[in-house]
Structure 1
Amino acid sequence: MSKLPLRRLDAQNPGFAQELDALLAWESVSDANVQQRVADIIADIRQRGDAALLEFTARFDRFQVDNIQQLVLGADAISAAFNRLPTDQQQALSVAAERVESYHQHQLGKSWQYREDNGTLLGQQVTAMDRVGIYVPGGTAPLASSVIMNAMPARVAGVSDVVMATPAPDGNVSDFVLGAAHVAGIDRIFLIGGAQAIAALAYGTETVPAVDKIVGPGNIYVATAKQQVFGRVGIDMIAGPSEILVVCDGKTDPEWIALDLFSQAEHDVDAQSILISQDGNFLDAVNDAIERLLPTLERADIIRQSLSERGALIQVADLADAPALVNRIAPEHLELSVDDPESWLGSIRHAGAIFLGRHTPEALGDYCAGPNHVLPTSGTARFFSPLGVYDFQKRTSLIGVSPQGAKTLGAVASVLARGEQLTAHARSAEKRLDD
């Protein structure tokens, strides 16, 4: 097979900024045809409920059933799937769930309040959402880790009802995925997928309950449906292809770095893997390792296309130049494969997750380190955060004004309201001044 044409960029070249922009460019918005098809599916689910779900499931997933209840799995079926798994998979799922739960316990928000000298009470009450829907794709890879990462923070937040939707193409669903649902505490699964699943979770049907928020990855139809139901329900984010950015000083085994780049490239042909180093010889060594190791991987064709179309090796004059590039790229995953990686943290402002040191491959974060692997992509780490407990909790303001406070605040509110020409507001506040 021909040598992989992995892009090589030099940060000192005059045209580097334009080259980097072209490399990072990604348009995740679906076209008008997809938008319309999704809108039609949502409208049909809203109008015909379960009947439409049955038809779409037969059409898109080739799974025809006579009764909607055949698309519903309860706690017993989910537990049975877990018990069918090999012992090592049971143990790995349990360990991952425990670690993810433990990490997210630290994110729990707390209610608080205080009283001013005049007796006025101000504060914030934190409460969980009532019901959340987890969407899990049904493609070639059984994404058990996605179940744990999406469900566990909702459980820790105190969401009382976490339901899951996942397609069952040709009537097949992975025991590995169902086993993950078991350890994540999910006891109700709907075997539905695509835009129709998102519509059912958003608006409810006779069988599928409406939820408050929908989280989880999916294809362009799922992402488009999430966009269209946002406002009716909350959503996590509209995710683009997976990304990894590795910064290495040249002292890490080139094969380790090559495999780290593969770990994201194997997700999808649109995934992006980038390596930054000041050492040109090291970049050559990594490129050689990529060529040597690539044929040994099951998803080699996907990786090859991903690396050739969206991957890059970037050489900087000095490693001190790397943080500015990192913040410009705002990667989903950032590996700092350098000496004293913690000293870099003050310089890194934009990244979904940071993996510190040579022995912290991104793959550990995907599965069992503890922090969430649902991360902002396509540069949105500039303003989005990882999925967490805070995404499943709401904050309600508390205001309890004392009689004395009403006189002080009422006078201020009156002036501001009349300045806005909202006299009912002003008179409402002024009435308390007369008390």
Structure 2
Amino acid sequence: MQKVFSILLVLLLGLIAALPAGISAKSESKGKEAALSKQLKAVSKQTYRYFEDFTNEETGLTDDAVRLDDGTIKPQTHTSPTNIGMYMMSTISAEEMGHISRDDAVDRIQTTLNTVEELETWNGLFYNWYNTEDGSLMTDWGQFISTVDNGWLSAGLIVVGQAYPELYEQTNNIVEAMDYSTLYTPEVGQMRGGYDVETESYTPHHYGAFYTEPRVASYISIGKKDVPSEHWWKMERTMPASWDWQSQEPEGYMVTYDGVDVFEGHYSYNGTKYVPSWGGSMFEALMPQLVLKEKELGKNALGLNNQRHVDIQIEYAKEQGYDAWGMSPAATPEDYSEFAATPLGMDGYEADGTVTPHATFLALEYAPMEAFENMKTLREYDMYGKYGFLDSVNVETGEVTEAYLALDQGMTIVAIANYLKDGVIRDYFHQDEIGKSPEELLIKEEFSIK
């Protein structure tokens, strides 16, 4: 009996000894989560100031970028369909987080919608560049209709219509007039990159790679019934193995979805399987999940792949010796360029040490604590200012790009809103029939990456 009592006593003492450590670990975790939430809310407020200061009060159109030159602010007074869509979703995000009132948000977006209704279009689709001061076409820059950019404008309009029902009729009319069938090639089952109105010619290429940011335009086109749902299965998860220009020879197998044969291919990096994007950037991989419920619905496909891309971005940066991670297209001191975790791409963009903060925020829902630590590291480069994080830093040279981009500001604040408000922007998008009706496409697919 005494032996049994001794054993019980030892076990009890062991449990007691372990208890404070367990409580301490939980307390530390909760403390970090609280600190992350507090910091994210502060960053979102600073980030939205960009849209407050550089959106024309008369047109409701946001300047594409702002460069800082020896303290002088130089706005670039043109905008794109993507910028317009991101501005509207950023304004909803700001309202959701308490930075502006609902009435203010509706008024701001109403001004934008009134301008959008008057912009020149082609088959209801919008040109790539407009002057923010009067909404006129930037004809010196050509007359291009971009598939991917129109997709993001449509996404923003759909979210607005659900967030603010009083604006639904206006937003829905604009979206319904956007005829994506004019950019679709039935014989190929894919969308063109776009159309040049001036030369009356389509781009020679289609958007063939599935895991890239144009999948939002594809999803919306299907939801609108402008194109058939088979389009989703006609895009390439990897290019065929015979296409030996791609960075890896893919492995995988054939699967039939809705009567369409799909090669579920994948690449591998240090033993981790993933479906590649075109260039390997965070932007291509994770921008679509700002509105698409990929994590929730695509547990065996897009959601799982998003997680893999975040994990590999972090791992790749460590292997390169970078003290921060997050490679994605961004402004540079000279212009704008594409950066990536190179192995993640079919034809991967280069990595030269350039890291962009918007990539950290896109990864929030997949690696929140890693994002928290990355934000701390980025701040050490003295790249946090009046409008939040500056657009990029080269972690090898320490050179910071003194610029803010509307697109990257928008991705940042929308990602934060989704993280802090349980996917609020995605919820609005999927409440609309256009966002809801293709959900089965997200659910049924299984990538070959388990």
Coarse TM-score class (shorter-chain normalised): under 0.3
Larger radius of gyration: 1
Q: Which has the higher contact order (CA 8 A, sep 6+)?
A: 1
State the TM-score, normalized to the length of structure 1. Answer: 0.24
